[in-house]
Structure 1
Amino acid sequence: MEGIDLSLISVEWLDNHYKWIIWKLAAYEVAFPHDFIRRSLTPNNVMLQLKYRYDREIDQCYR
């Protein structure tokens, strides 16, 4: 994805955030099926969430 420097993140960072993003998006679909079913847990949304977390934690140094 554009704007990401892979040398700044570790495999552990990626695994951890990926796990929690999948959990969060799946929980949305279970908790709110009429609003999120088959629309929340998509590859595009996962990538957008990873990019958001990268921008917030790595670029802005906010945890």
Structure 2
Amino acid sequence: MASFNPFQFIQEVRQETSKVTWPTWKEVWITTIMVLIMVFMAAIFFMVVDQIMGWAVNFVLRLGR
């Protein structure tokens, strides 16, 4: 089994993180706004679908009375 050297590990991690292309603040804000818009749209969609299904279930249950 290979031995573990924490100092070598830290050095390798630093080398790999230096290769990463980090997003700019503008890209972060745009992406954040896009995610919030998509979450809002998904919430509205599921609220509408839930209301429609609730009405359908109530309609079917009322038929049995």
Instruction: Specify the TM-score bucket, using the shorter chain as the normaliser.
Output: 0.3 to 0.5
TM-score normalised according to structure 2 size: 0.36
Greater relative CO, 1 or 2 (CA 8 Å, sep 6+): 1
TM-score by length of 1: 0.37
Structure number with higher helix proportion: 2
